[in-house]
């Protein structure tokens, strides 16, 4: 017998911890764009922990979205009073908790309602998890693209903008006109310097609207940098069924994740912030070292295992880590090429951090998929892999491993595995990538011709030669034999 999740049903649930506070006491303090699994497993969990201490009940979450698909999430959460079941899984144990930090979710597409909420003086933080590809960044320059059609539309339609940045700017304009202190804008996405990137997007859009407005935003709005980390797979019918079977809870959209979580934040919140340091958030002056470590070692590690595993028809991440060639490939690329170009991090041993990542990747309970790791390479490679390769060639160091990672991505985008199985589209630019990958089979340099992705690295002779050799080898002898050759230092 299962219990359908709702506020009324909470007292009947004994298999999971429930909010240790009266949710009727909560009032909104944060509007969050992008209410996906990661947000509900990370920021919402930290706030749930904080509210349980009895503190800061005026910092509850209000969800917001700009995609049509966001409405499905809103409907599922609304049906259970905005509650979420979070299942933390390790190899030897699982536990469930129900979080209650969210108290409302504005209907996606209702720009007037979003802007009105953003103009409310009670809202002091606007946070975002809109994925790496949602910031309108030119991949090669890693700078804001003011010419994107979405941005151009918002600049001409600030009364009814469609992007998160348009809505944020409209909210700031309303507050400015009313003399209300601006809210802080806090990115929670895996982007180097995510605060700076977010500022560039908001200020860049403001420049298109009114240069004086852009100047005001630059001088009055805070955009703290932050590093976030928790492996959180997508929810499928498998997770819904597991929750019902193991915990007797019927949740429309539960979240399964690892027990590990980390959040490092720059303490730059002029309008105030919740006391998240009480529940494990680390506030520092400079987030950059932590960002570099996480993005290059963990996210770069994910990219390193995703494509060889995908090409060898491996479904789950833990299964990839059990494959001796994939796990050895990860270890060699990390230790030989990635970790040596990661700057030092305070009180952190980078090799110990990588060992922790290996253990996390190998967690068999998470059910994370290779397909999720391989998603959106056109946005992720320029952030997770290409910067390490560029650092190395500029130091005149080998890139045999990183060029192979890039070649494996190209081979994956060809659209079929080594066994001939079809790889379904897995990138917003899949058609373009597939076309280039087909050209690159005969001429590897055709892949590097995507200057918007590879930037200066595309023309560097060391990388070009290594990539060409790696891709040619993959087509000649296949993924398995290519990995064996690389691991024997024969590539």
The answer to whether residues 277 and 328 belong to one domain is: no
The answer to whether residues 120 and 222 belong to one domain is: yes
Show which of 284, 312, 338 is a domain's final residue.
284
Give which of 128, 322, 157 is closest to 224, Cα–Cα: 128
Cα–Cα distance for residue pair 193/464, rounded to 1 Å: 28
Show which of 284, 304, 333 is a domain's final residue.
284
Segments in the chain below pLDDT 50: none
The answer to whether residues 132 and 276 belong to one domain is: yes
The answer to whether residues 206 and 267 belong to one domain is: yes
Assess contact for 255 and 232: CB atoms under 8 A. yes
Structural domain count of the chain: 2
489: CB partners within 8 A, 6+ apart:
none
The answer to whether residues 151 and 178 belong to one domain is: yes
The answer to whether residues 250 and 327 belong to one domain is: no
The answer to whether residues 230 and 356 belong to one domain is: no
The answer to whether residues 274 and 308 belong to one domain is: no
Show which of 265, 284, 303 is a domain's final residue.
284
The answer to whether residues 11 and 84 belong to one domain is: yes
Q: What is the CATH number of the domain that holds 414?
A: 1.10.1040.10
The answer to whether residues 264 and 298 belong to one domain is: no
The answer to whether residues 208 and 263 belong to one domain is: yes
Total-model pTM: 0.90
Q: What is the CATH number of the domain that holds 207?
A: 3.40.50.720
Burial class (CB in 10 A: 0-12, 13-18, 19+), 218: middle
Domain span at 465? 288-487
Predicted local distance difference test score (pLDDT) of residue 12: 95
| 297-to-111, 136, 454 alpha-carbon distances in Å | 39, 24, 19
Q: Per-residue pLDDT tens for 465-490?
A: 999 999 999 999 999 999 999 999 99
Q: How long, in residues, is the chain?
A: 491
The answer to whether residues 168 and 201 belong to one domain is: yes
């Amino acid at each position: 017998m299962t219990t359908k999740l709702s506020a009324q049903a909470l007292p009947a649930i004994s298999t999971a911890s429930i909010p240790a506070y009266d949710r009727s006491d909560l009032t909104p303090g944060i509007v969050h764009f992008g209410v996906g699994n990661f947000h509900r497993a990370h920021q919402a969990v930290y706030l749930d922990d904080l509210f349980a201490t009895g503190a800061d009940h005026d910092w509850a979450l209000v969800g917001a979205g700009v995609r049509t698909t966001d409405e499905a999430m809103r409907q599922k959460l609304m049906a259970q009073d905005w509650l979420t079941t979070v299942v933390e899984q390790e190899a030897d144990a699982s536990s469930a908790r129900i979080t209650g930090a969210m108290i409302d979710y504005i209907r996606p597409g209702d720009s007037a309602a979003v802007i009105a909420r953003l103009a409310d003086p009670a809202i002091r933080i606007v946070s975002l998890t809109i994925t790496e590809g949602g910031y309108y960044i030119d991949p090669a320059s890693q700078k804001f693209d003011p010419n994107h059609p979405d941005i151009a539309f918002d600049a001409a339609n600030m009364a009814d903008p469609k992007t998160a940045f348009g809505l944020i700017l409209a909210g700031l304009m309303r507050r400015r006109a009313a003399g209300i202190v601006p809210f802080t804008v806090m990115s929670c996405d895996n982007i180097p310097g995510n605060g700076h990137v977010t500022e560039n997007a908001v200020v860049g859009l403001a420049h298109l609207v009114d240069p004086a407005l852009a100047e005001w935003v630059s001088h009055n709005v805070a955009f703290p940098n932050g590093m976030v980390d928790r492996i959180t797979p997508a929810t499928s019918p498998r997770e819904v069924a597991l929750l019902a079977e193991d915990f007797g809870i019927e949740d429309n959209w539960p979240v399964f994740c690892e027990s590990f979580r980390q959040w490092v934040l720059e303490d730059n919140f002029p309008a105030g912030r919740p006391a998240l340091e009480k529940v494990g958030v680390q506030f520092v002056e400079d987030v950059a070292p932590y960002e570099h470590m996480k993005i290059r070692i963990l996210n770069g590690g994910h990219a390193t295992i995703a494509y060889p595993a995908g090409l060898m028809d491996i479904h789950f991440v833990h299964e990839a880590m059990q494959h001796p060639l994939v796990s050895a490939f990860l270890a060699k690329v990390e230790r030989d090429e990635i970790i040596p170009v990661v700057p030092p991090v305070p009180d952190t041993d980078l090799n110990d951090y990588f060992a922790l990542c290996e253990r996390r990747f190998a967690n068999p309970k998470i059910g994370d998929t290779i397909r999720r790791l391989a998603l959106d390479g056109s946005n992720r490679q320029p952030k997770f892999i290409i910067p390490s390769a560029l650092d190395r060639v500029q130091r005149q160091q080998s890139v045999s491993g990183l060029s192979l990672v890039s070649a494996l991505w190209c081979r994956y985008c060809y659209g079929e595995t080594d066994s001939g199985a079809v790889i379904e589209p897995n990138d917003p630019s899949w058609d373009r990538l597939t076309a280039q990958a087909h050209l690159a089979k005969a001429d590897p340099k055709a892949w590097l011709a995507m200057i918007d992705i590879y930037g200066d690295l595309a023309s560097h002779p060391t990388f070009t030669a290594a990539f060409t050799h790696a891709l040619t080898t993959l087509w000649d002898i296949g993924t398995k034999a290519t990995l064996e050759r690389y691991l024997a230092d024969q590539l």
